[in-house]
Structure 1
Amino acid sequence: MPTVHTKVEPQIGAVACLSRDHPNTTFRMLGNHPVDDGTVFVLLEAPDLPGEDVTTYFEGDDDVIEYEIIHDAETAVFVRIRIPLPAPHRAGISSGSVPHAALTVRNGWIHGEMTTSMERIQEFVSALREADVRYEVASLTQSDETGAILTERQQTVVETAVEHGYYETPRSCTLEDLADVLDVHRSTAGDVLNRAEGRIITSFVRDSS
């Protein structure tokens, strides 16, 4: 099955500012717990930063309903944050796709990976677009016993197609639009896409049988 690596802009202003102010630090969002009133508790790990430095970002932030430092040590600070259910979280729920590991936050972006079907990836990206969430598709790969099934060029074209809404319903861009973005002829873009889609579908069917 395909694995997509996405970069999504944080919906918590404090987290975005914190990571941008410390661009060389990788923060981790270790888990979340939705509650009945439409809010969610998020556990954030902030390594190598004093607790008092971290809390200054959350004080007075309208995106944060409440926060609590639950562990403060020399190696890491853990913050429990309660916020309204973020749009990317809703997009994941609506598309039936969830990250298969803890999310990481680096330099103003939340990084996550999901292994799911192409259809669910398209639904997830479409939901992000509808919610006006800034995002990037960093990579889209599918591996079998011999490694990645797409060539580097095929992967680039497919990632560009996903990013620009080619696989959305209805489509946000045509094959001609995609060819213009890639600066290639329409027939070239179509040929590369057809070969890539054929490899993905063949591998998916083989893995499912």
Structure 2
Amino acid sequence: MPQARLLVDLPDGPWIADVSREFPDAGFRVLTAVPGESAGFALVRVSARDVDAALSAMEAHDALRSVSVMAREDGVATVRLETDAPLLLLAAKRSGLPIEMPLDIENGVAEVEVTGEHERVAEMGRRLSELGLEFEVERVRQRVDPARLLTDRQRELLLAAVDLGYYDVPRESTLTEVAKHVGIAKSTCSETLQRVERTVVREFVDDLPSRPLDAEPAAADT
């Protein structure tokens, strides 16, 4: 099933757009969110150099009906809030395609991930446009069920290797011990784990950004 990642440029007006632009160094992570009839309810983790100032800006914003700090530590606060204009939730509701949580917003740009049929993903794009939200598709890929990546035998061997500490640093068991534990030859164990590692690493790499680690960030990221 297709999984799409959209970078949505939020318009001025919604609290998350205004406050995140006012504090461009801050991160806003929506942990949970539920749309109501005329409002939205969410649990948001705010990370900022001056988290007090960010919270004050949230409390003063007209689009937020209520802001309650649920947990607090240095530079981080978890907040329960009610908002008048949950545009992203509204687009998700109209398209019938839920937004995957957590949802990260920085400097007015939301990183939205959705998974569904091509028609549903396209409908999400139309709904975003109807609401005046500009976006770009950062990535579309076929989402694979992790349980289907490996055969039953491969999965059994991998779990045994993990349980025995084969992948710990330093290792708690040897390849010979893992092979003996599952009752197979050492050579078979080695070959099977190599296939497992190749499959898992390739799937992981597909999720990584394509930009080299030493490349300069694009202007939109600053």
Which TM-score applies when normalising by structure 1? 0.60
Instruction: Name the residue aligned to 1:20.
Output: 21
> 1:58 offset after TM fit, Å?
1.9
Q: Deviations over 1:164-189 (max 9, x none)?
A: xxxxxxxxxxxxxxxxxxxxxxxxxx
Quickly say closer, same or farther: Cα 1:88–1:28, change in 2 above 3 A: same
Superposition map of 1:58-207 within 5 A: 58-143=58-143
Bigger Rg, structure 1 or 2 = 2
The AA in structure 2 aligned to 1:66 is: S
Quickly say closer, same or farther: Cα 1:91–1:15, change in 2 above 3 A: closer
The AA in structure 1 aligned to 2:46 is: A
Q: How far apart are the structure 1 equivalents of 2:127 and 2:15?
A: 23
Q: What secondary structure sits across from 2:24 in the alignment? A: coil
Identical residues among aligned pairs (%): 24
> 1:111 offset after TM fit, Å?
0.9
Worse overlay, 24-33 or 138-147? 138-147
> 1:10 offset after TM fit, Å?
4.0
Quickly say closer, same or farther: Cα 1:142–1:126, change in 2 above 3 A: same
Quickly say closer, same or farther: Cα 1:120–1:83, change in 2 above 3 A: same
Instruction: Name the residue aligned to 1:204.
Output: none
Which TM-score applies when normalising by structure 2? 0.57
> 1:75 offset after TM fit, Å?
4.8
CA contact (8 A) 2:7 2:136 kept: yes
Q: How far apart are the structure 1 equivalents of 2:102 and 2:62?
A: 25
Q: What secondary structure sits across from 1:65 in the alignment? A: strand
Q: Deviations over 1:13-37 (max 9, x none)?
A: 43223323443443200111334x4
Q: Deviations over 1:63-104 (max 9, x none)?
A: 112212222211520122211252321221122111233101
Quickly say closer, same or farther: Cα 1:65–1:10, change in 2 above 3 A: farther
CA contact (8 A) 1:50 1:77 kept: no
> Unaligned 5+ residue runs, structure 1?
149-209
Q: How far apart are the structure 1 equivalents of 2:6 and 2:96?
A: 16
- How many equivalent residue pairs? 147
Q: How far apart are the structure 1 equivalents of 2:140 and 2:6?
A: 9
Q: Deviations over 1:105-139 (max 9, x none)?
A: 12221112111111001111111111212222211
Q: How far apart are the structure 1 equivalents of 2:65 and 2:39?
A: 9
The RMSD of aligned alpha carbons is: 2.5
Quickly say closer, same or farther: Cα 1:29–1:38, change in 2 above 3 A: same
Quickly say closer, same or farther: Cα 1:43–1:10, change in 2 above 3 A: farther
